[in-house]
Amino acid sequence: MLSEKIYTLRRKNGLSQEQLAEKIGVSRQAISKWEGGLSTPELDKLKALSECFQVTIDELTNDQNTNNCSNTAEQKKADTETIQTQSKIGIALCFIGAICLVLFGILMMLQPYAVQQMNESSMITLNGTGILILFFILFMIIGIVLILKKK
């Protein structure tokens, strides 16, 4: 309620009813009536209150807590930073996977014997090179998922 917001903001700013009244050009009794819910300030007084407390008129008149706006903005900023971080990690994983696949391809062409040794040392049905290729592709897939992930 408006009456509670005026009271809360006045106390938060360390002002007495008399001090607030002087700042916005009304009587102390007017402030008391506003805080008690017995009357409401006119539009020009709402403007003066919003300037005095450095809040918008919407923040004064809405039933939400005045701290909700700043918390919401902070939350959105944190979410944006998280998404940006995930995208950066995703891009890095894609590049790592692609570079590893290229390097592995070069190794296969330059040192076929090393690739053959890798295949023979694997105890899994999928040969060693296949495991490496799947591992690199997995990096790329995870990277793409992180890039495209949205909240």
Q: What is the pLDDT of residues 46-68, one digit of tens each?
A: 999 999 999 988 888 886 554 54
Q: Which fold has domain 2-63?
A: 434 Repressor (Amino-terminal Domain) (1.10.260)
User: To the nearest whole number, what is the mean pLDDT of the chain?
Assistant: 81
Q: What is the pLDDT of residues 109-142, one digit of tens each?
A: 888 777 677 667 655 555 667 777 788 888 888 8
Cβ 40 vs Cβ 34: under 8 Å = yes
pTM as predicted = 0.42
State how far the Cα of 113 lies from the Cα of 133, in Å rounded to an integer: 17
Helix (H, G, I), strand (E, B) or coil at 136: helix
In the chain, pLDDT over 90 holds for what percent of residues? 19
